[in-house]
């Protein structure tokens, strides 16, 4: 019996082609680094303390573009509950900031900057954690505030109020700024059957074409977490998974790189902060003064690119925004260097086989690539046409010198020094392979 071929949505195809994105963090702790909501339940730093008086979203997105990013995800509300847009649901938002005298809208500025510089905009909104509402993972009211014990009946009322407010705020974010390319749910979102808000229905109605990271399993264009915050995809990282009721985000398979026979197309996104987690504040996701020593250098980001994008994943790099409202100069310099390294290595191929040339291959699915005598090849890059699904289950390069299982959207293989010719053979498949390209760099 022939294997079922699962194919991505058009939006998932577009997402894969973008390859690099950024995840932009800005919350109360950059102004009050001692703030820890899990220790200080019932306390939030005052809104007027949020004062990024030089804030410039154009500068953020220009820096992202210099790194080669094609999409950007803004953390519109993180765990403090402070909102970067003037929400009508409560007062703990940018409305209370001295920046623009409380009349600003960081989310709106971010969307305008993405449009200006050609990046697709995304939004992160944590429904599972919100200190303003005394909510923590997995999205439930906690009886751990500084107040007297909350009666069970009151907890239920508070939970219903919180669920309703989440839907009101998501409605604001998903209706006021236009199409949202990627929607990020950090840690997923609590389902209605478990006491959470009905986010899936709202998403279907307001942003049906978004790709959704760790979102409700009913959505048509899902993404999964790669399983670590080092942007390290496994060697063979298939886009398909089997969803389970225990782990609808595909996390049960993250250590195994998906399942080539899985029934759901849910590719991995590989995220990393742009500052080392073990050397910096808040795991490297948020800015703190005098931590330039923790910036991940360009060559390490480049290595992460090869081990994420080059393993059938996308690379999502964190961006710390400082208390001025800017992406710091030292970090921006590294982003530009990283973008230069990727372009230098993968800008112009030594040899490239087009889809038309690949169609002429013999039925044994073997490809011989001749290289110029003066060439110094470093990488072999292979791509399947994922609009036809992932069909390759095994390949061999130069008679087994290099082998693997998954090609997917893109596979980058580092070649041994002195490689003068290449022979690629597809050794296993679940259907006739459809390759989009083979190139040597």
Q: Tell me: the pLDDT tens digits for 34-87?
A: 999 999 988 999 999 999 999 999 999 999 999 999 999 999 999 999 999 999
Both 312 and 325 in a single domain? Answer: yes
No. of H helices and E strands in the chain?
A: 8, 20
Both 275 and 373 in a single domain? Answer: no
Residues 6+ apart with CB under 8 A from 73: 21, 22, 23, 24, 122, 123, 124, 182, 184, 316
Question: Positive or negative CA dihedral for 22, 28, 33, 38?
Answer: negative
Write down which residue in 346, 365, 398 finishes a domain: 346
Residue among 222, 250, 225 at smallest CA distance from 9? 222
Question: Positive or negative CA dihedral for 272, 274, 276, 281?
Answer: negative
Residues 6+ apart with CB under 8 A from 289: 323
Q: How confident is the model at residue 26 (pLDDT cuts 50, 70, 90)?
A: very high
Both 415 and 267 in a single domain? Answer: no
**R_g over Cα of the chain:** 23
Write down which residue in 288, 319, 346 finishes a domain: 346
**Looking at the domain assignment, is residue 57 inside a domain?**
yes
Q: Give the pair of three-digit tokens for residue 117.
A: 């510089």
Residues 6+ apart with CB under 8 A from 410: 16, 19, 309, 310, 312, 381, 382, 383
Q: How confident is the model at residue 256 (pLDDT cuts 50, 70, 90)?
A: low
Both 356 and 280 in a single domain? Answer: no
Q: Which string of DSSP letters, residue by residue, matches 81-132?
A: --BSS--SS-S-BGGGSTGGGGT--HHHHHHHHHHHHTPEEEEEE-SS-BGG
**Looking at the domain assignment, is residue 75 inside a domain?**
yes
**Looking at the domain assignment, is residue 2 inside a domain?**
no
Whole-number Å distance between alpha carbons of 327 and 322: 6
**Looking at the domain assignment, is residue 3 inside a domain?**
no
Both 333 and 364 in a single domain? Answer: no
Both 294 and 421 in a single domain? Answer: no
Residues 6+ apart with CB under 8 A from 215: 183, 185, 188, 189, 199, 200, 203, 222
Full domain range(s) for residue 418: 351-440
Q: Tell me: the pLDDT tens digits for 264-305?
A: 999 999 999 999 999 999 999 999 999 999 999 999 999 999
pLDDT, position 355: 75
Write down which residue in 346, 366, 382 finishes a domain: 346
**Looking at the domain assignment, is residue 1 inside a domain?**
no
* Lowest mean pLDDT across 98-102, 153-157, 355-359: 355-359
Both 409 and 385 in a single domain? Answer: yes
pLDDT, position 361: 62
Q: Would you say residue 364 has pLDDT above 70?
A: no
Q: Are residues 80 and 132 in contact, defined by beta-carbon separation less than 8 angstroms?
A: yes
Q: What CATH number is given to the structural domain containing 397?
A: 2.60.120.260
pLDDT, position 388: 97
**Looking at the domain assignment, is residue 396 inside a domain?**
yes
**Looking at the domain assignment, is residue 4 inside a domain?**
no
More confident residue, 154 or 113: 113
Q: Would you say residue 227 has pLDDT above 80?
A: yes
Whole-number Å distance between alpha carbons of 422 and 406: 18
Both 380 and 436 in a single domain? Answer: yes
DSSP 277: G
Q: How confident is the model at residue 428 (pLDDT cuts 50, 70, 90)?
A: very high
Q: Would you say residue 145 has pLDDT above 80?
A: no
What percentage of the chain's residues is helix, strand, coil (to nearest 5)?
A: 30, 20, 50
Both 223 and 305 in a single domain? Answer: yes
Residue among 356, 362, 357 at smallest CA distance from 432? 362
Q: Would you say residue 146 has pLDDT above 50?
A: no
Instruction: Round the average pLDDT of the chain to a whole number and report it.
Output: 92
Q: Would you say residue 377 has pLDDT above 90?
A: yes
Residues 6+ apart with CB under 8 A from 151: none
Task: State the pTM of this model.
Answer: 0.95
Total domain count, the chain:
2
Q: Burial, 32: exposed, middle or buried (Cβ in 10 Å; 0-12, 13-18, 19+)?
A: middle
Both 307 and 340 in a single domain? Answer: yes
Q: Tell me: the pLDDT tens digits for 295-335?
A: 999 999 999 999 999 999 999 999 999 999 999 999 999 99
Q: What CATH number is given to the structural domain containing 71?
A: 3.20.20.80
Q: Would you say residue 252 has pLDDT above 70?
A: no
Helix (H) or strand (E) holding 422: strand 421-429
Both 17 and 153 in a single domain? Answer: yes
Both 283 and 378 in a single domain? Answer: no
Q: How confident is the model at residue 147 (pLDDT cuts 50, 70, 90)?
A: very low
Residue among 89, 111, 105, 225 at smallest CA distance from 170? 89
User: In this structure, how many other beta carbons lie within 10 angstroms of the beta carbon of residue 316?
Assistant: 26
């Amino acid at each position: 019996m022939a294997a079922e071929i699962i194919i991505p949505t058009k939006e998932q195809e577009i997402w894969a082609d973008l390859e690099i994105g950024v995840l932009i963090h800005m919350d109360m702790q950059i102004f009050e680094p001692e703030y820890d909501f899990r220790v200080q339940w019932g306390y939030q730093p005052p809104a007027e303390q949020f004062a990024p008086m030089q804030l410039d979203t154009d500068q953020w997105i220009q820096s992202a573009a210099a790194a080669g990013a094609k999409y950007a995800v803004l953390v519109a509300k993180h765990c403090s509950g402070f909102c970067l847009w003037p929400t009508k649901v409560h007062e703990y938002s940018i409305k209370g900031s001295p920046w623009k005298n409380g009349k600003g809208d960081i989310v709106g500025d971010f969307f305008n900057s993405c449009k200006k510089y050609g990046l697709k905009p995304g939004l992160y909104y944590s429904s599972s954690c919100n200190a303003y509402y005394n909510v923590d993972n997995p999205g439930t009211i906690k009886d751990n505030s500084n107040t007297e014990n909350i009666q069970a009946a009151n907890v239920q009322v508070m939970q219903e109020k919180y669920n309703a407010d989440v839907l009101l705020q998501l409605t604001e974010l998903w209706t006021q700024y236009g199409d949202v390319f990627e929607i990020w749910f950090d840690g997923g979102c609590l389902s209605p059957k478990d006491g959470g808000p009905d986010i899936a229905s709202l998403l279907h109605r307001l942003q049906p074409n978004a790709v959704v990271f760790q979102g409700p399993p009913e959505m048509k264009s899902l993404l999964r977490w790669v399983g670590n915050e080092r942007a390290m995809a496994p060697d063979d990282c298939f886009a398909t998974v089997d969803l389970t009721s225990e782990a609808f985000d595909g996390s049960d398979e993250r250590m195994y790189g998906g399942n080539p026979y899985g029934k759901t197309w849910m590719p991995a996104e590989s995220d990393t902060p742009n500052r080392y987690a073990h050397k910096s504040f808040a795991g490297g996701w948020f800015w703190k003064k005098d931590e330039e020593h923790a910036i991940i250098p360009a060559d390490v980001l480049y290595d992460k690119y090869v081990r994420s994008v080059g393993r059938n994943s996308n690379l999502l790099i964190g961006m710390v925004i400082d208390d001025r409202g800017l992406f710091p100069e030292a970090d921006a310099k590294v982003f530009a260097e990283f973008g230069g390294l990727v372009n230098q290595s993968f800008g112009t191929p030594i040899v490239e086989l087009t889809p038309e040339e690949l169609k002429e291959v013999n039925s044994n699915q073997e490809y011989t690539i001749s290289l110029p005598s003066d060439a110094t090849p470093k990488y072999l890059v292979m791509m399947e046409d994922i609009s036809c699904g992932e069909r390759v289950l095994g390949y061999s390069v130069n008679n087994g010198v290099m082998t693997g299982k998954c090609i997917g959207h893109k596979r980058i293989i580092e070649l041994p020094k002195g490689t003068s010719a290449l022979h690629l053979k597809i050794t296993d498949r679940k259907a006739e392979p459809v390759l989009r390209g083979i190139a040597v760099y």
